[in-house]
């Protein structure tokens, strides 16, 4: 970083992802510090602030946005509040890191982009933290270097088991369901690896009749010369994997999205029966995400993951939902 101003972050809510991942990452970062946290209940915000070593607590989200000391807002609110409160943060002059998916549908993301375009000095980024892990940089390098030849297909899976009716992922009116929560990762990863957008998609969902959200989803993305597929589920054994098959070899990413704390990232390349394992340094991808956004802010660089990328990902999500209803391919 050529400009080393330590940026002050405000945390919009006391969400678990903030407490468990993002706040520790900001504390560990050399580029940033946590300045304050907001809750709709001041006592809850003060308790959370004490538990997470944050110096300031706010009794409303707007009060946090109104504090002129804050540079960046982290928005981990439920999905239906991503766009409304990110827009409020932009209008308050703040940069924003917003959890995925950044909107409920394409129309919402386009609304957000329209506001963001009026404030080009602000960096607004969707929080796909996995892209900042060096294993993904290495995976792209291996593919581009021809290590497995021309890529023919990519298959991804991301699953966990959650049947808690009070969990936001199981609430249909606020953007719940597996596609929005984890299917978005599978889509993002495929687009990232191939460096282009699918032409059409086909999706099939299994709905939970009690919750009213998708509990299983299968999808095919047609990129023209490459077809990819994925499975996501909120009611299956926890698992994750990305498997890339090429003309002369294959590449497997065993922990593509969430790295267990005690696990070293590994990429496995196979050529017939010969296996090569590439070990990747232990790291905190959330710290890398924080530093990347702070670097863009401090040095007036392009946003690491721009809103155009968020829009492209949401187009695929919308297409998969539409395909399930039509029971046919949907052209994007």
Q: What is the pLDDT of residues 73-116, one digit of tens each?
A: 999 999 999 999 999 999 999 999 999 999 999 999 999 999 99
pLDDT attached to residue 260: 76
Alpha-carbon distance values, 198 to 99, 224, 326, 331 (Å): 23, 7, 18, 9
Q: In what order do the strands lie in the sheet with 274-279?
A: 274-279, 266-271, 250-253, 235-246, 151-161, 227-233, 214-222, 200-207, 330-331
**Residue 3: pLDDT band with limits 50, 70, 90:** low
- State pLDDT tens for residues 168-210: 999 999 999 999 999 999 999 999 999 999 999 999 999 999 9
Full-model pTM: 0.96
pLDDT, the chain, mean: 96
pLDDT attached to residue 10: 98
pLDDT attached to residue 259: 79
pLDDT attached to residue 85: 98
Backbone torsion region of residue 272, taken as left when φ is above 0, otherwise alpha when ψ lies between -120 and 50, otherwise beta? left
Instruction: Flag whether pLDDT at 262 surpasses 80.
Output: no
pLDDT attached to residue 298: 96
**Residue 5: pLDDT band with limits 50, 70, 90:** confident
- State pLDDT tens for residues 57-78: 999 999 999 999 999 999 999 9
Section 226-240 average pLDDT: 97
Section 305-330 average pLDDT: 98
* Cis amide leading into 101 (omega within 30): yes
Backbone torsion region of residue 260, taken as left when φ is above 0, otherwise alpha when ψ lies between -120 and 50, otherwise beta? beta
Section 280-298 average pLDDT: 95
Residues 234 and 177 sit within 8 Å (Cβ to Cβ): yes
Q: Which one, of 2, 88, 4, 112, lies nearest residue 38 by Cα?
A: 88
pLDDT attached to residue 281: 86
Section 276-293 average pLDDT: 95
Strand 32-38 relative to strand 7-12: parallel, antiparallel, unpaired?
parallel
Strand 7-12 relative to strand 72-75: parallel, antiparallel, unpaired?
parallel
């Amino acid at each position: 970083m050529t400009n080393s101003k330590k940026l002050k972050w405000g945390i919009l809510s006391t969400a678990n992802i903030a407490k468990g991942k993002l706040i520790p990452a900001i504390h560990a970062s050399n580029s940033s510090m946590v300045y304050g946290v907001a809750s709709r209940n001041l006592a809850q915000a003060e308790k959370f602030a004490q538990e997470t070593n944050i110096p300031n607590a706010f009794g409303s989200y707007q009060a946090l946005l109104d504090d002129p000391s804050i540079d960046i807002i982290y928005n981990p609110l439920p999905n239906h509040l991503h766009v409304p409160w990110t827009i409020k943060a932009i209008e308050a002059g703040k940069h924003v890191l917003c959890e995925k998916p950044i909107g409920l549908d394409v129309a919402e993301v386009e609304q957000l982009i329209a506001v963001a375009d009026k404030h080009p000095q602000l960096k607004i980024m969707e929080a796909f933290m996995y892209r900042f892990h060096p294993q993904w940089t290495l995976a792209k390098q291996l593919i581009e270097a021809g290590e497995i030849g021309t890529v023919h297909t990519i298959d991804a899976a991301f699953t966990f088991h959650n049947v808690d009716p009070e969990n936001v992922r199981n609430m249909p009116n606020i953007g719940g369901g597996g596609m929005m929560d984890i299917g978005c990762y599978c889509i993002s990863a495929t687009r990232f690896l191939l460096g282009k957008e699918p032409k059409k998609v086909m999706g099939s969902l299994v709905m939970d009749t009690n919750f009213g959200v998708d509990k299983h989803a299968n999808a095919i993305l047609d990129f023209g010369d490459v077809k990819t597929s994925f499975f996501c589920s909120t009611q299956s054994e926890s698992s994750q994997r990305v498997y890339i098959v090429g003309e002369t070899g294959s590449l497997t990413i065993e922990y593509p999205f969430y790295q267990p704390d005690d696990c070293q990232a590994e990429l496995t390349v196979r050529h017939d029966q010969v296996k090569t394992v590439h070990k990747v340094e232990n790291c905190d991808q959330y710290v890398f995400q924080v530093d990347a956004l702070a670097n863009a802010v401090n040095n007036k660089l392009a946003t690491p993951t721009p809103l155009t990328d968020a829009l492209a990902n949401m187009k695929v999500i919308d297409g998969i939902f539409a395909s399930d209803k039509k029971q046919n391919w949907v052209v994007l």
